[in-house]
Structure 1
Amino acid sequence: MTPPPADACDAHPLSAAHYADRAAFEQAEILENVEIARGTYRTRVAAPEVVGRIFPGQFLMVRLAGQNDPLLGRPFAMYDVVRDASGAAVALDFVWVVGGKLTTALASRQPGDTVEIWGPLGNGFALEAPLDHAIFVAGGIGQTPFLALGKELLGKAGYGRDAARAARVTLCYGVRTSDLLAGESDFRSAGIDLCVASDDGSIGHHGLVTDLLTQTLDEAAAGEKLQVVCCGPEPMMEAVAGLCATRDAACLVSLETPMACGVGVCFSCVARVVDEDGEWDYKRTCVDGPVFDAKRIVW
Structure 2
Amino acid sequence: MSGPHAPAHEPLAHEPLPHADAVQTIATVGLQERIARDTFRLVLECPEIAARIEPGQFLMLRLPGRDDPLLGRPFALYDVGSDGTSFSIGYVVIGKMTRLMTELRAGDQVELWGPLGNGFPKPPESNAGPTLMVAGGIGQTPFLAAGREILGAAAYGERGRFEASAHPPELLYGARSAEYVAEVDRFTSRGISVSVATDDGSEGHHGYVTELLERRLHADPRPARVLTCGPEPMMAAVAKLCEAAGVPCWASLESPMACGFGACFSCVVRVKQSDAAEGWDYRRSCLEGPVFRAETLVFD
- The one-character-per-residue Cα deviations of 1:198-238 (angstroms, maximum 9, x if unpaired) are 000000000000011012112124xx451100000000000
- The one-character-per-residue Cα deviations of 1:52-81 (angstroms, maximum 9, x if unpaired) are 111100001000012111100000000000
Match of 1:53 in 2: 52
| Cα displacement (A) at 1:26 | 1.3
Match of 2:298 in 1: 298
Q: In the aligned structure 2, how far is the partner of 1:227 from the partner of 1:5?
A: 22
Mapping for residues 145-164 of structure 1, pairs under 5 Å: 145-159=142-156, 160-162=158-160, 163=162
| Cα displacement (A) at 1:106 | 0.6
Match of 1:96 in 2: 91
Match of 2:210 in 1: 210
Q: In the aligned structure 1, how far is the partner of 2:187 from the partner of 2:82?
A: 18
Mapping for residues 1-299 of structure 1, pairs under 5 Å: 15-17=15-17, 19-84=18-83, 89-127=84-122, 129-130=124-125, 131-159=128-156, 160-162=158-160, 163=162, 165-166=164-165, 167-221=167-221, 224=222, 226-275=224-273, 277=275, 279-299=279-299
Q: In the aligned structure 1, how far is the partner of 2:124 from the partner of 2:163?
A: 4
Paired amino acid for 2:207: G
TM-score scaled by length of structure 2: 0.90
Q: Is the 8 A contact 2:177 2:200 kept in 1?
A: yes
Secondary structure of the structure 1 residue equivalent to 2:103: coil
Identity of aligned residues (%): 48
Secondary structure of the structure 2 residue equivalent to 1:168: coil
Q: Is the 8 A contact 2:39 2:91 kept in 1?
A: yes
Secondary structure of the structure 1 residue equivalent to 2:169: strand
Paired amino acid for 1:24: V
Aligned in 2, Cα 1:183/1:52: closer, same or farther, shift over 3 Å?
same
Comparing 154-163 with 60-69, which one deviates more in the overlay?
154-163
Q: In the aligned structure 2, how far is the partner of 1:235 from the partner of 1:148?
A: 24
Comparing 236-245 with 275-284, which one deviates more in the overlay?
275-284
Secondary structure of the structure 2 residue equivalent to 1:288: coil
TM-score scaled by length of structure 1: 0.90
Q: Is the 8 A contact 1:129 1:164 kept in 2?
A: no
Q: What root-mean-square deviation, in Å, do the aligned CA atoms of Structure 1 and Structure 2 show?
A: 1.9
Secondary structure of the structure 2 residue equivalent to 1:132: coil
How many corresponding residue pairs?
282
Q: In the aligned structure 2, how far is the partner of 1:57 from the partner of 1:108?
A: 26
Aligned in 2, Cα 1:30/1:183: closer, same or farther, shift over 3 Å?
same
Match of 1:11 in 2: none
Q: Is the 8 A contact 2:21 2:52 kept in 1?
A: no
Q: In the aligned structure 2, how far is the partner of 1:165 from the partner of 1:16?
A: 33
- The one-character-per-residue Cα deviations of 1:171-208 (angstroms, maximum 9, x if unpaired) are 00000000100121111111001000000000000000
| Cα displacement (A) at 1:277 | 4.4
Comparing 31-40 with 153-162, which one deviates more in the overlay?
153-162
| Cα displacement (A) at 1:118 | 0.9
| Cα displacement (A) at 1:274 | 1.7
Any stretches of 5+ residues in structure 2 without a counterpart?
6-13
Q: In the aligned structure 1, how far is the partner of 2:150 from the partner of 2:274?
A: 29
Q: Is the 8 A contact 1:20 1:264 kept in 2?
A: no
Paired amino acid for 2:188: R
Aligned in 2, Cα 1:176/1:225: closer, same or farther, shift over 3 Å?
closer
Any stretches of 5+ residues in structure 1 without a counterpart?
7-13
Q: Is the 8 A contact 1:41 1:96 kept in 2?
A: yes
